[in-house]
Structure 1
């Protein structure tokens, strides 16, 4: 089974967090996720996240504190997902890979059809925000 290491950015703005939706041509079509992507050979998770957010959303970010780590078996692949809090430094969000993005209230995160690996991260974000 293929194991893929990926990152996810938790980008917040007051009581909201950014999520993106997978487009029709991708796996898990219509599922919502925290934006990010695959770690390349010899790349740190933080460098990957900054690169992926620039490529996919056209934003420059500062990668901050570690949020959570999840391993999820999707049957044909195993995802090792590392999530970090990020702050937008520059740029306006322009989607190139996803078909939609949304700023959603943190308290409402679980009302969206999040991908299975993203659900534990959403719960952690909610728990930390409402401590």
Structure 2
């Protein structure tokens, strides 16, 4: 299982570009990572976002799942709404991060497992 955080701040959503030495280098994603043994999805997201971006987040609630078959196996990506509550953003594993408008999500080339979220997120942008 893999988690993804949909972090919204001031009406914009955070996306991250996969860096060197990462699978799918150069593709955009919603940041997150792999679930470790004994961890809840919420604990995983908090740990991964802190490790990758130096941000402390509150995980609010589950948004949606995506199942995608890559050449090396199938992943289930669990997306959760999250709120940035503290910490200074430090880009560690990714090559770049951006806060973008929901309507602009389709302008970026996302990792395949993240793609199913794009259309639905663009439709709900008016909530933010």
Which residue in 2 is equivalent to 1:116?
112
Where does residue 83 of structure 1 map in the other structure? 79
**8 Å CA contact retained: 1:67, 1:124:** no
Scaled by the length of structure 1, what TM-score is found? 0.92
Aligned position for 1:58: 54
Q: TM-score, normalised by structure 2?
A: 0.94
- Where 1:130 maps in the other structure, the secondary structure is helix
CA distance in 1 between partners of 2:10 and 2:85 (Å): 16
After superposition, where does 1:29-44 map in structure 2 within 5 Å?
29-44=25-40
Q: 2:42 aligns with which of 29, 39, 46?
A: 46
For structure 2, the 5+ residue unaligned runs are none
User: Partner of 1:26 in structure 2?
Assistant: 22
SS of the residue corresponding to residue 114 of structure 2 reads helix
For 2:32 and 2:20, the matched residues in 1 are separated by 18
- Superposed CA offset, 1:40-94 (max 9, x none): 0111111100110011000100000211101100121211100001001101110
Runs of 4 or more, structure 1, over 6 Å off, are: none
